[in-house]
Every structure is written in structure tokens, then in C-alpha cells.
């Protein structure tokens, strides 16, 4: 990819972030503020000596422990953000190739020398890597504030605070795992990503109704004509988080290189190619 | 002269409605071409086909490329302004400049900023906060800052007041058109662009009813006001249109030598608006 083509793709990603800044930046930032406020409020409910012993216990617990080994513990903190991310990811994908046709701004986007392939890929990369990055950045901010707060408490209560440093390192490593998990999840859910993009590009109105309706119809027809539930079972079989969440660096290879993952990517790529073709004409 | 647009047998249907019926179209390079037609005539469909935004049957080449398979490469040489405010409303003025700068290899940022500095458009405002006139000014500044060979305008001044409309066309002529570039304009306000045009295309009900250079109109079309005693002689020459004018009758002829018409009175070349009405009525009457 030459320099201009790379710059062009980065511009497309920037466009996605600007257009969806509420979903990608403001929403996690608001959730972070809410959680921090709740944490501070809860801490205020404890007597001073209990708070001091709690901080001392945490610092002692993590002192000297491997941040990589302890990282999965801190992945729990990311759960609300992950739920928020995937709720918004669904809304984003459903509207990504529909909204601009609805408000006619597609005529502007299509009047630029940007291929439909690049446009659609920019949506995929945005949801697989860019949006999670912003969520991770916000989470990093949350962990940083928490660490500073615990450190200040430690200094105030005259507690050995080295363990808090270990905690922070483990939290940072957990963010790496969460980010890798987000990318692997997007690949694992590639058929769903492709399906939503396909109907986002196809539907003249209510893309969700089309995406859900056609899926239910295909499942019903399979059951009615062949007496089988292969489609429903296949979708259900891909819902287990153990198939895409990364708890250690070793998990990465296992999650990425297996038959189920590669088959899913293949199916998703076909559906995304369909979305690219649908995007060709605006009428 | 080479043609920047070459179309043969273009057809397009929306369900049972045939928007384009075997359209043949040649638009010379370096011309300012007016695409004139009533509502639903197929103007927007034609323009969208030229830039690859709608699928059509038939042979089509624009700037040497087939827009249906090569749209994104074609758009390096073609710019488009539609009849509706199509700039994304959520973008700020500065962001839309950044975007075009990032994706278009022939965009000149400094020129866009210089053009915008002559307007009252603030760079920190979102598009949705601008008036329709400002949005059109902004869009024009953007496309005039792109070094393209063809500019396609679909009712670009629709909904603008007379000051913005005049300024739009002044800018187009002074800052964009250099004799080598081609402009295709579709508009209802025929009188406003008549003096700009070097080529004229009339479209009606999906069919091209006129495709001619403005310089050829004088040779092909003649308008004459005929006194009552000569009307039967004028009728015998099969005028394409006739109308009452201040108690007299005006006839429009196509392809009749002026020497033959001199006997009826003073000869005129019909205005584009009058010719448009004449050709449409002629086409409708078969």
C-alpha cells in the first residue's frame, strides 16, 4: 500500500471516529465517570481504619506477583465496557452502510475517489480495532486514576505501596488482553459482522428487520424443508466466550488458528464482499 | 473535438417505470453543457449514471472510463454537486476540508482555504449550522479546489436566493472554467445559465430530444412572428411549435432554411427556454 492509499484509509477511519464519537469516546467516558464516582462514593461509606486495612491488604496481596498472571483478574473491570462496546457495535454495523443512504450524504461520499471495498473495510477495521482502542484508552484512564487514588491513600495511611504498582501493571496487561480479545472476537464474529453489513448495504429501510427477518426465515426454511437446525446450532456453537477471549498470550495462537475460526472468517468475507457489491449503486 | 461523455443505448428502469429509454449522448470536452428537462425526465438518473451512482444498461464512457466498474478511479477526474444538501451535516467545515484533503489526490487545500476566506463561512461550524447558501458555497469551494476535467452539477442552485445563484455561476466561470474543463449542469432555471452554455441537451420522458452545440441552434431553429394572412403558408412548413404573443402568432421552425422564412417577417433564434417548450411539445405530439 503506497503512502497516499494508507493516508486515505486512515482518513476513512478518522471519519468513522468523528461520525460516531458519541459511541466510541463519549459513551465509555461517561461510563468511566459513573464507575469512578460509584467507587469513590462506596469508599466514603467505610470507616477510615477499614479503608486503610483494605488498601494495605490489596497492596500486600499483589506485591511481587506476576502482572501477566494476575491480568485476568482485572479483565473483570472491563466487562461493563465490553457490553457497552458490543451493544454499540451492533447499532453501528446495522447503520453503517444505511444511514448515509438515508440522509443522502452517500452522494458526497461516493463523489470522492474512494472504492467501495475501502469504505466497507474501514467500517470493519473501525469496529474490530479502532472502537476497542478508545474503550481501552478510557479503561486505562480509569485504572490510572484508581492507582493514583490508592497510592495517595497508601501514603496517607503510611502503607507500603509497592504492591499497588504491581496491581497497576497487572491492570495494564489486562488491557492488552482485553484489546486482543476484542480483535479476536471481531474475527470470530466475522459472519455476524458480514451479515449486518450486508443488510445495512441492502435495506432501503429498517435494516434490522431485514437482517433478523431473513435469518429467521432461512432458519425456518431449513427446519421446514430438511428437518435440520444446522444454522441455529452453528450460531449457538459460536457463542461461547472461551472461543474468543484471551487470558494469556498463549491463547492468541489457539484462538486464531483453528478450523472454526478460519471457516467463520471465510463466511464473513463472502458476506462482506456482498456488502461491497450492494454498495456499488445508490438507487 | 473529443467527447468526454459517450453513451449509447442507455436504459434504466425503476420497476415498471422506464427512466432512460435508449439514450445516446455525446458531450464534447471543454464544453459547458446544459441538461434541461422537466421533473421526472431522467436528468438526475442520467447524471448519476455518468458518475457511477446508478446502474444502467448500454455503452457508457466518461473521461475514458466506464463509471459502473471504475467509479473510484473516475472520481479522481470528476466532481459532482447534487441538488440536495449532501454534505454530511455532522461534519465541521474544517473537518470536511481535512476529509477531502485526505482522500482526494488532486485536492489543493490552500486553494480551498483561500476560496473560503472570501466567504463568511466559519471553519469551526458544523454543516448543519450553515444556511443552504453557505453549504452550496462550501461545496463549490471544495470542488473548485480539485483539479478535475469534468464537473457535474445537478440543480446546484435549487433553493438559493438570486444573490447566491448569481455568485455561484460567477465563481464557476471565473475560478473553475478554463476552456479545457467540461461542466454539465442540470437546472430548471434555464434563463440563468443560457448565456454560459456552449452545448445543449434536452431530455424528456427518458429520451433525448435535442443534443446540439449552441452555435448550431441558429442554423437549425428559427422563430418568426407571422401575420394572420400568412399563417396558412407558415403552417405548410410544419412548425414544431406555435404560440400566441401579444395578439400575434409566433412560429418555431426546425431545419427550415431562413431564406424560406424571410417572407413571414423578422427572424429570431429562439431562447433556450422557448426552444425547450417547443421541443417538448413537439416531442409530446410525436
Q: What pLDDT was estimated at residue A267? A: 95
- From the number of C-beta atoms within 10 Å of its C-beta (0-12, 13-18, 19+), residue B63 rates as buried
Cβ of residue A33 closer than 8 Å to a chain B Cβ: no
Nearest neighbour of A110 by CB, restricted to B53, B98, B101:
B53
Q: In what order do the strands lie in the sheet with B182-186?
A: B78-81, B150-154, B182-186, B32-36, B199-204, B207-213
Q: B90–A108: do the CB atoms touch at under 8 Å?
A: no
- Is the distance from CB of A106 to CB of B82 less than 8 angstroms? no
- The strand pairing partners of B57, in sequence order, are B11
Residue A28 to residues A31, A75, A134, A142, A246, Cα–Cα distance (Å): 5, 16, 8, 10, 21
Is residue A14 within 8 Å of A25, Cβ to Cβ?
Answer: no
- Which residues of chain B neighbour A104 with C-beta distances below 8 Å? 82, 84, 86
The string of DSSP letters for A157-225 reads TT---HHHHHHHHHHHHHHHHHHHHHHHHHHHTHHHHHHHHHHHHH-SS-HHHHHHHHHHHHHHHHHHH
B68 to chain A: closest CA residue: A280
Q: For residue B255, with 0-12 CB atoms within 10 Å meaning exposed, 13-18 middle and 19 or more buried, which class applies?
A: exposed
Instruction: Please state, as a whole number, how many other Cβ atoms lie within 10 Å of the Cβ of residue A26.
Output: 13
- Please tell me the predicted confidence (pLDDT) of residue B142: 92
Digit-coded pLDDT (tens) for B246-264: 777 888 998 888 888 888 8
- Count helices and strands (H / E) in chain B: 11, 13
Residues 23-52 of B with CB under 8 A from A: 45, 48, 51-52
**Largest Cα–Cα distance of chain A, in whole Å?**
73
CA dihedral B135, B139, B142, B144 (to 10 degrees): -130
**Alpha-carbon dihedral sign for residues B150, B280, B82, A196:** negative
Inspect the interface and report whether the beta carbons of A110 and B86 lie closer than 8 Å: no
Is the CB of residue A12 less than 8 Å from the CB of residue A20? no
Q: Given the C-alpha cell 472520481, which residue does it identify?
A: B75
d(CA B56, CA B60): 9
| B36 torsion bin: left (phi>0), alpha (psi -120 to 50), beta (else) | beta
- From the list A7, A111, A281, the residue facing B79 with the nearest CB is A111
Distance from CA of B263 to the nearest CA of A (A): 53
Q: Could you tell me the three cell numbers for A63?
A: 506485591
Specify the pLDDT at position A283: 59
Residues of B in Cβ contact (< 8 Å) with A282: 48, 53-54
Are B185 and B35 in contact, with CB atoms under 8 Å apart? yes
Provide the H-helix boundaries in chain A: 3-19, 21, 27-44, 48-62, 67-75, 79-96, 99-102, 106-109, 116-125, 131-156, 162-188, 190-202, 207-226, 230-237, 249-256, 259-278
B73: closest chain A residue by CA? A113
**Residue B26 burial (10 A CB sphere; 0-12, 13-18, 19+):** middle
Residue-by-residue pLDDT tens, chain A, 283 positions: 688 999 999 999 999 999 999 989 999 999 999 999 999 899 888 888 888 888 888 888 887 788 888 888 888 889 999 999 999 999 999 999 999 999 889 999 999 999 999 999 999 999 999 999 999 999 999 999 999 998 898 888 888 878 888 889 999 999 999 999 999 999 999 999 999 999 999 998 899 999 999 999 999 999 999 999 988 888 888 887 778 888 888 888 888 888 989 999 999 999 999 999 998 865 5
| Res B286: pLDDT | 56
Chain A residue closest in CA terms to B52: A281
Provide the terminal-to-terminal Cα distance of chain A, rounded to the nearest Å. 31
CA distance B62 to B40: 23
H or E stretch at B25: strand B17-28
Q: Hey, is the C-beta of A42 within 8 angstroms of any chain B C-beta?
A: no
CA distance B208 to B203: 4
Residue B162 to chain A, least CA–CA distance (Å): 25
Q: pTM for this one?
A: 0.88
Neighbours of A95 (CB within 10 A): 16
Using an 8 Å CB-CB cutoff, list chain B residues near A115. Answer: 71-72
Chain A: give the shortest CA distance to residue B209, in Å.
25
User: If pLDDT is split at 50, 70 and 90, which confidence band does B6 have?
Assistant: very high
pLDDT score for A18? 95
Is the pLDDT assigned to residue B280 strictly greater than 60?
Answer: yes
Q: Which of A10, A105, A116 lies nearest to residue B88, judging by beta carbons?
A: A105
pLDDT tens string B196-237 = 899 999 999 899 999 999 998 888 899 998 888 888 888 888
Buried b (16+ CB within 10 A) or exposed e, B143-166: bbbbebbbbbbbbbbbebeeebbe
> What integer best gives the mean pLDDT of chain B?
89
Enumerate the β-bridge partners of residue B34: B185, B200
Phi-psi region of A250 (alpha: psi -120 to 50; beta: other; left: phi over 0): alpha
Distance set, CA A78 to CA A32, A264, B135 (Å): 10, 26, 42
Contact A18 B53 (CB under 8 A): no
Distance to chain B for A277, nearest Cα, Å? 11
| B55 to A12: CB separation less than 8 angstroms, yes or no | no
- Nearest of A248, A283, A278 to residue A120 by alpha carbon: A278
Which 8-state DSSP code applies to residue B127? G
**Which helix or strand (DSSP H or E) is residue B203 part of?**
strand B199-204
Helix (H) or strand (E) holding B222: strand B221-226
Task: Out of A210-219, B2-11, B234-243, pick the least confident.
Answer: B234-243
Residue of B nearest to A118 (CA): B72
Grid coordinates representing B13 are: 428502469
Choose the closest CB to A111 out of B51, B55, B95: B51
> Residue B99 and residue A117: Cα distance in Å, rounded?
18
Contact B98 A100 (CB under 8 A): no
For A38, what's the count of Cα atoms within 13 Å in the CB-facing half-sphere?
Answer: 7
Q: What is the mean pLDDT of residues B6-33?
A: 93
The pLDDT tens digits of the residues spanning A232-246 come to 888 888 887 778 888
Q: How far is A6 from chain B (nearest CA, A)?
A: 10
CB A200 within 8 A of CB A95: yes
User: What is the C-alpha to C-alpha distance for residues B25 and B32, in angstroms, rounded to an integer?
Assistant: 14
Strands B267-268 and B3-14, by their bridges, are: unpaired
Q: Within 10 A of B84 (CB to CB), how many other CB atoms are there?
A: 16
Contact (Cβ atoms closer than 8 angstroms) between residue B20 and residue B42 = yes
Query: In 3D, which of B14, B25, B7 has the Cα closest to residue B68?
Result: B7
Q: How far apart are CA B149 and CA B275, in angstroms?
A: 29
Inter-chain residue contact A103 with B89, CB threshold 8 Å:
yes
Under a CB-based contact definition with an 8 Å cutoff, are residues A142 and A175 in contact? no
**Chain B CB within 8 Å of residue A156 CB:** no
- Is A105 within 8 Å of B71 when comparing Cβ atoms? no
Amino acid at each position: 500500500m503506497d503512502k497516499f492509499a494508507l493516508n486515505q484509509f486512515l482518513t476513512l477511519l478518522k471519519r468513522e471516529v468523528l461520525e460516531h464519537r458519541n459511541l466510541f469516546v463519549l459513551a465509555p467516558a461517561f461510563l468511566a465517570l459513573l464507575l469512578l464516582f460509584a467507587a469513590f462514593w462506596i469508599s466514603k461509606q467505610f470507616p477510615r481504619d477499614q479503608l486503610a486495612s483494605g488498601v494495605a491488604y490489596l497492596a500486600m496481596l499483589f506485591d511481587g506477583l506476576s502482572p501477566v498472571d494476575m491480568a485476568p483478574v482485572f479483565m473483570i473491570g472491563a466487562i461493563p465496557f465490553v457490553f457497552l462496546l458490543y451493544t454499540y457495535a451492533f447499532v453501528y454495523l446495522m447503520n453503517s452502510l444505511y444511514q448515509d443512504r438515508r440522509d443522502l450524504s452517500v452522494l458526497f461520499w461516493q463523489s470522492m475517489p474512494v472504492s467501495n471495498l475501502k469504505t466497507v473495510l474501514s467500517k470493519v477495521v473501525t469496529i474490530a480495532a479502532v472502537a476497542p482502542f478508545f474503550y481501552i484508552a478510557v479503561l486505562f484512564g480509569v485504572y490510572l486514576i484508581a492507582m493514583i487514588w490508592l497510592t495517595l491513600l497508601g501514603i496517607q495511611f503510611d502503607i507500603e505501596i509497592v504492591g499497588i504498582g504491581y496491581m497497576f501493571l497487572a491492570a495494564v496487561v489486562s488491557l492488552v488482553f482485553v484489546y486482543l480479545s476484542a480483535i479476536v472476537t471481531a474475527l470470530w464474529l466475522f459472519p455476524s459482522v458480514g451479515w449486518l453489513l450486508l443488510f445495512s448495504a441492502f435495506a432501503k429501510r429498517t435494516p434490522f428487520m431485514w437482517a433478523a427477518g431473513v435469518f429467521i426465515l432461512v432458519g425456518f426454511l431449513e427446519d421446514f424443508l430438511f428437518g435440520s437446525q444446522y444454522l441455529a446450532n452453528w450460531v449457538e456453537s459460536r457463542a461461547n466466550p472461551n472461543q474468543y477471549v484471551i487470558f494469556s498470550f498463549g491463547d492468541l495462537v489457539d484462538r486464531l488458528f483453528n478450523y472454526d475460526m478460519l471457516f467463520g472468517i471465510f463466511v464473513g468475507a463472502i458476506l462482506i464482499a456482498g456488502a461491497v457489491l450492494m454498495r456499488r449503486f445508490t438507487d | 473535438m473529443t467527447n468526454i461523455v459517450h453513451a449509447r443505448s442507455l436504459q434504466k428502469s425503476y420497476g415498471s417505470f422506464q427512466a432512460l429509454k435508449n439514450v445516446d449522448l455525446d458531450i464534447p470536452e471543454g464544453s459547458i453543457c446544459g441538461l434541461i428537462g422537466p421533473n421526472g425526465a431522467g436528468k438526475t438518473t442520467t447524471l448519476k449514471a455518468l458518475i457511477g451512482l446508478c446502474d444502467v444498461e448500454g455503452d457508457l464512457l466518461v473521461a475514458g472510463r466506464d463509471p459502473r466498474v471504475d467509479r473510484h478511479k473516475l472520481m479522481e477526474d470528476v466532481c459532482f454537486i447534487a441538488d440536495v444538501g449532501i454534505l454530511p451535516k455532522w461534519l465541521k467545515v474544517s473537518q470536511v476540508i481535512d476529509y477531502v484533503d485526505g482522500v482526494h489526490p488532486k485536492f489543493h487545500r490552500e486553494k480551498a482555504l483561500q476560496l473560503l476566506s472570501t466567504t463568511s463561512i466559519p471553519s469551526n461550524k458544523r454543516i448543519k449550522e450553515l444556511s443552504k447558501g453557505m453549504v452550496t458555497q462550501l461545496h463549490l469551494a471544495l470542488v473548485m479546489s480539485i483539479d478535475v476535467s469534468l464537473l457535474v452539477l445537478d440543480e446546484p442552485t435549487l433553493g438559493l436566493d438570486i444573490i447566491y445563484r448569481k455568485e455561484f455561476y460567477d465563481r464557476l466561470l471565473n475560478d473553475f472554467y478554463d476552456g479545457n474543463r467540461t461542466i454539465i449542469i442540470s437546472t430548471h432555471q434555464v434563463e440563468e445559465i443560457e448565456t454560459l452554455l456552449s452545448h445543449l441537451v434536452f431530455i424528456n420522458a427518458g429520451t433525448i430530444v435535442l443534443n446540439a452545440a449552441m452555435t448550431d441552434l441558429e442554423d437549425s431553429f428559427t422563430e418568426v412572428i407571422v401575420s394572420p394572412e400568412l399563417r396558412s403558408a407558415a403552417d405548410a412548413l410544419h412548425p414544431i411549435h406555435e404560440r400566441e404573443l401579444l395578439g400575434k402568432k409566433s412560429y418555431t421552425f426546425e431545419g427550415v432554411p431562413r431564406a424560406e422564412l424571410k417572407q413571414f417577417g423578422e427572424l429570431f433564434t429562439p431562447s433556450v427556454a422557448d426552444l425547450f417548450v417547443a421541443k417538448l411539445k413537439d416531442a409530446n405530439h410525436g
